[in-house]
Structure 1
Amino acid sequence: MKVVVLCGGLGTRLREETEFRPKPMVEIGGRPILWHIMKGYAASGFREFVLCLGYKGSAIKEYFLNYEAMNNDFTINLGRHSKLEFMNGHAEQDFQVTLADTGLNTMTGGRVKRIQKYITDDTFMMTYGDGVADVNIPKLLEFHKSHGKLATVTAVTPNSRFGIVDMSSEGKVMKFIEKPRTDGRANAGFFVLNRKVFDYISGDDCTFEREPMERLAADGQLMAYKHDGFFYAMDTYREYEFLNDLWAKGQAPWKVWQ
């Protein structure tokens, strides 16, 4: 089963890093966040990926083209009888990665539509290239199969960006909660989709989270998988620092692989 990862956005709110590289290549612990996402899926046995490239997509292509050399010792013979021999293996030796240029300004729905030709099974997975989570992928897939609808989105309860002050009419603070969980659920990605979803996407200017998901919901074809564990999207430099700090402390909940 293919896993589609949206990797083409501009990442404007993380300009400190994305001025020089696409957001999926921004590193956590010395590895691109894209690598962390792919390792999470691979831990559950899903190792076939389709990456939807856009902004600075060449950097992602170069990363995978040079992956073997950068993650192995190797011996190289130069000259007329050139030869390259890698000396040791790594955990990603069974990955299959399709890198698809889906346009610089294409919206999320348009990017998905453009890689339709690479989806050969009835069901595929999709997520964003900037969020890590400890979602139980097999349980997510089991949930999707159980309801028989076309689409499943993983829904999380997000933390508020601001502390909540519970106060009396006189201004006395009764309770303060820093970044509490808010009411309702938010789209965390980690979709499971039937290929019929492609019929809901109109073209390059189609935002997947708008018309396609709204129509799927209206048709009774969209279900939500509730995830109460860890999820964090890296949209700002503060979030970049937070994720790197968790990794440095050995407290990264999304690290579900050995």
Structure 2
Amino acid sequence: MNSISVVILVGGIGSRFSAINEPPKQLSKLNQNVILINIINNFKRFGFNHFIFPLGSKKSFFIKFFNNKKNINKYNFNIIKNNSKNHKLKLNKINISYFDAGENTKKFLRIKKSFNYTNNDDILVVYGDDLANVNLRNLVKKYNLTKRKKAIITIYKKRSQYGHLIVNKSGDVKKFIEKPPHEHPINIGFYLFSKKILMSYNKNNLELESHFLPRLTKLNLLKSYEHKGYFYSINDKKELMSAKIKLKNL
């Protein structure tokens, strides 16, 4: 998968997880490794080896993590110092590019700026606080079937965490449904975009999910790929504890 670079979005404040002067959730330990390394490891399994980080809030924590000599040896990092697209990737390394995208920059513009750090015409974009064992080989295969002329979004059929009741007008419970599946799947990211599609939209101050993706939908340029493995979103420390219990092998 050397023809596709991976953009990992880690620039948010994450105020529900930690204070502004505390490490970001992506660098929190989840069993054997930190969350960020668990995300990278799933990509490594499928041959991806170039990761771009458009940094924002808490950027100093990430820079320190990437440049720590112990981490460079432990995780086999190759830190690309010149921070440009004119670099040579090392095939047996985890190649890391990072740049300061700005504190308040929208995700869409962060993604577009990431093309300045790769020679590839396609990028795979993921959120830095979600854990999912997506079959990336099948994801890319579906993207290639569109001849890379449409974007891909990964969806997941989630079950409700609550028991649902069907109640009549008198308030009588007619049926109890324990944790039913939601009617519609959710968006879990894992976007595959071509440079051509991204650069065709020049309203950089608008948001990825609420503006760009609906535009692609309207133009019939967005295909979906259904993920059927696990998916955990880490928004607070309670969700981190839940993921630790259920993902003991990570």
**Is the TM-score greater than 0.5?**
yes
User: Quick one: which of 5, 18, 32 aligns to 1:15?
Assistant: 18
Task: State the match for 2:172 in structure 1.
Answer: 171
Once the two structures are TM-superposed, the CA of residue 27 in structure 1 deviates from its matched residue by 2.2
> Which residue does the alignment assign to 1:103?
102
Write the mapping of 1:242-253 to structure 2, written as runs, cut at 5 A: 242-248=242-248, 250=249
Q: Please, which moves more after superposition, 50-59 or 156-165?
A: 156-165
Moved over 6 A (4+): none
1:192 pairs with 2:195: no
**Judging changes above 3 Å, is the alpha-carbon distance between structure 1 residues 43 and 116 closer, same or farther for their aligned structure 2 residues?**
same
The one-letter amino acid paired with 1:242 is S
Pick closer, same or farther for the CA change 1:57–1:203 going to 2, 3 Å: farther
How many residue pairs match? The answer is 229
Q: Could you tell me how far 1:28 is from its partner in structure 2?
A: 0.9
Q: Give the gaps of 5 or more residues in structure 1.
A: 73-91
Alignment TM-score, normalising by the size of structure 2: 0.82
The residue identity in structure 2 corresponding to 1:231 is: F
Distance in 1 of aligned mates of 2:141 and 2:72: 37
Q: Quick check: which has more Rg, 1 or 2?
A: 1
Q: How big is the alpha-carbon RMSD for the aligned residues of Structure 1 and Structure 2?
A: 2.4
Distance 2:21 2:133 in 1: 29
For 1:39 and 1:5, the matched residues in 2 are separated by 13
Q: Is the 8 A contact 1:7 1:53 kept in 2?
A: yes
Retained in 2: the 8 A contact 1:113–1:201?
A: no
Matching residue of 2:68 = 66
Residue 187 of structure 1 deviates from its aligned partner by 1.1
State the Cα distance separating 1:19 from its structure 2 match.
Answer: 5.4
CA offset at residue 117 of structure 1? Answer: 0.8
Q: How big is the shift at 1:108?
A: 0.7
Is the alpha carbon distance of 1:104 and 1:144 closer, same or farther for their aligned partners in structure 2, counting shifts above 3 Å?
same
CA distance, structure 2, for counterparts of residue 244 and residue 19 of structure 1: 24
Match of 2:51 among 46, 49, 52: 49
1:203 is displaced (CA, Å) by 5.5
| TM-score, length-scaled by structure 1 | 0.80
Distance 1:119 1:221, change over 3 A: farther
- Bigger drift between 206-215 and 122-131 goes to 206-215
Contact 2:152 2:222 in 1 (8 A): yes
Q: Which moved more, 1:180-189 or 1:160-169?
A: 160-169
Residues 114-153 of structure 1 correspond to what in structure 2 (within 5 A)?
114-148=113-147, 149-153=149-153
Partner of 2:8: 5
Cα distance in 1, alignment partners of residues 183 and 162 from structure 2: 14
Structure 2 residue runs of 5 or longer lacking an equivalent are 75-90
Query: What is the percentage of aligned positions where both structures have the same residue?
Result: 25
User: Matches of 2:45 and 2:208 in 1, distance apart?
Assistant: 27
| CA separation of 1:48 and 1:69: change in aligned 2, threshold 3 A | closer
Whether the aligned pair in 2 keeps the contact of 1:8 and 1:22 (CA below 8 Å) is no
The separation in 2 between residues aligned to 1:19 and 1:160, in whole angstroms, is 34
